[in-house]
């Protein structure tokens, strides 16, 4: 089968490589010469475990092709997936300009056979009807087309695994022929099939991300109670999670959620709700608690550290990615800089991205221990594996003062045996 993906970000590139690996002839359309050149050479541009190897494998097999020209790919494709970004506008509304511009390009290049145009981009309810209207307004009369919504649920850091071993494959369309073709295309992928209409498929993705964001904010809200009452957030949430109706998964207190999905999608759902006349106070509270989590963390540092000199371990919004979009590190660093802190940072893969934001305002280090030299404290913001079992004796020698602010609670069990540190976790009594 010939398949085209428009867009080569996390969703487009990963899914394109996976579908090429299944034996399909896959085209990827981009718009930047430099990025396309790098992709053609086997450089995936983004950091994602296993992606470089999968890209190189399918380039060698000549199953994967990159182009700027819609005319190279669209005419012969049976399925065209839209996988471009929908970043938030200032008011929180999803910016659909790229999606709608792509729809026009697709429509103008369809030929005289049946094509499914399926949107993988996360878009508000009703967007696929706009896509359908644009395509029908510019395609040739002989071109037959059906529009579908096929949202993705991959997680950065485990994107290839999540694509192949999905919990569910959601296909939304009013066309039986489109559903049949998409089911066939997804046959190698695990997961329960959910066949529904366009609006439901669009809303499923937003609902999923909003629920996950809600669980994180709820855990953080409970951590606020714990810190003010002497309760232990892990004990509380572990016990609550034993109730099978609730569960423990994703109720992790910390410095809040970030990344390209949760902040954007919660705000887009908020915006859609307001446009529909729905009371969105619940989702507003989810966002407010997330912001409060970061604010509290900065206040905790300011209130306890003896000198304004700190190291930061972890800059990406989560481990195993270089993505810093809406990362807690950006908020924390910005606000510490406003308080005249000197900051040394380290992250295994996200240093170049953070440098684009802060330039020479902070110090960039080659390893985690270099960042500790002469500092008063350490703030841990991302739970990378290499941070989980550090050499505490070496840390003590390097640091001028010995304060650890653990935004991910990765040291609580170990720090008891290394009590030369003043330790400030999330939702627990500090160890001083």
Instruction: Tell me the C-alpha distance between 226 and 389, whole Å.
Output: 26
Pairing outcome for strands 64-67 and 25-29: parallel
Give me 375's structure tokens.
Answer: 């500092």
Residue with tokens 């390097």: 398
Instruction: Tell me the C-alpha distance between 287 and 282, whole Å.
Output: 9
Torsion angle of the four alpha carbons 199, 204, 272, 15, in this order, in degrees rounded to the nearest 10? -90
- Express each pLDDT in 29-58 by its tens digit: 999 999 999 999 999 999 999 999 999 999
In degrees, rounded to 5, the angle at the alpha carbon of residue 40 between the alpha carbons of residues 37 and 42 is: 115
- Express each pLDDT in 235-245 by its tens digit: 999 999 999 99
Beta strand spans in 236-319 (E):
309-313
**pTM attached to this predicted model:** 0.93
Domains of the chain: 2-196 (3.40.50.720), 241-424 (3.40.50.720)
- Express each pLDDT in 377-419 by its tens digit: 999 999 999 999 999 999 999 999 999 999 999 998 887 666 6
Residue with tokens 């976790």: 425
Decide if 343 contacts 354 (C-beta within 8 A). Answer: no
Instruction: Tell me the C-alpha distance between 178 and 314, whole Å.
Output: 44
- Express each pLDDT in 94-149 by its tens digit: 999 999 999 999 999 999 899 999 999 999 999 999 999 999 999 999 999 999 99
Measuring CA to CA, how many Å separate 193 from each of 159, 167, 179, 284, 422? 19, 9, 11, 32, 51
Active site residues: 261
Task: Note the maximum CA span of the chain.
Answer: 76
Nearest to 253 by CA among 285, 224, 229: 224
Measuring CA to CA, how many Å separate 394 from each of 364, 379, 399? 20, 17, 9
């Amino acid at each position: 089968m010939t398949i085209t993906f428009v867009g080569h970000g996390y969703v487009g590139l990963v899914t394109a490589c996976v579908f090429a690996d299944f034996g399909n002839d896959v085209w990827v359309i981009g718009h930047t010469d430099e990025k396309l050149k790098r992709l053609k050479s086997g450089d995936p541009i983004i950091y994602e475990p296993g992606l470089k190897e999968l890209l190189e494998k399918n380039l060698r097999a000549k199953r994967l092709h990159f182009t700027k020209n819609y005319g190279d790919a669209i005419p012969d494709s049976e399925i065209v997936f839209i996988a471009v970004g929908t970043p938030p506008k200032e008011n929180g509304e999803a910016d659909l300009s790229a999606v709608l511009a792509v729809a026009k390009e697709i429509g103008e290049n369809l030929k005289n056979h049946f094509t499914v145009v399926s949107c993988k981009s996360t878009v508000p309810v009703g967007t696929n009807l706009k896509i359908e209207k644009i395509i029908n307004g510019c395609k040739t009369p002989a071109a037959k087309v059906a529009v579908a919504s096929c949202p993705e649920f991959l997680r950065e850091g485990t994107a290839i695994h999540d694509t192949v071993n999905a919990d569910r494959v959601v296909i939304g369309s009013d066309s039986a022929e489109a559903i049949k073709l998409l089911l066939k295309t997804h046959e190698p992928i695990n997961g329960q099939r959910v066949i529904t209409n366009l609006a439901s498929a669009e809303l499923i993705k937003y609902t999923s991300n909003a629920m996950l964001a809600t669980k994180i904010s709820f855990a953080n809200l409970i951590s606020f109670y714990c810190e003010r009452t002497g309760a232990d957030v892990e004990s509380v949430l572990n016990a609550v999670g034993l109730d099978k109706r609730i569960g423990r998964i994703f109720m992790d207190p910390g410095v809040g959620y970030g990344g390209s999905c949760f902040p954007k999608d919660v705000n887009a759902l908020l915006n859609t709700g307001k446009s529909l006349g729905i009371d969105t106070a619940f989702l507003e509270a989810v966002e407010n608690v997330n912001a409060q989590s970061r604010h509290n963390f900065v206040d905790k540092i300011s209130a306890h550290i003896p000198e304004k000199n700190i190291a930061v371990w972890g800059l990406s919004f989560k481990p195993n990615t270089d993505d810093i979009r809406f990362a807690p590190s950006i908020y924390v660093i910005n606000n510490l800089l406003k308080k005249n802190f000197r900051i040394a940072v380290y992250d295994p893969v996200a240093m170049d991205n953070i440098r684009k934001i802060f330039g020479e305002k902070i110090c960039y280090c080659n390893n985690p221990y270099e960042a500790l030299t002469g500092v008063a404290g350490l703030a841990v913001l991302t739970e990378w594996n290499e941070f989980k079992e550090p050499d505490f004796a070496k840390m003590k020698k390097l640091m001028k003062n010995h304060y650890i602010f653990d935004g991910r609670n990765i040291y609580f069990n170990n720090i008891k045996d290394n009590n030369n540190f003043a330790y400030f976790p999330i939702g627990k009594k500090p160890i001083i």
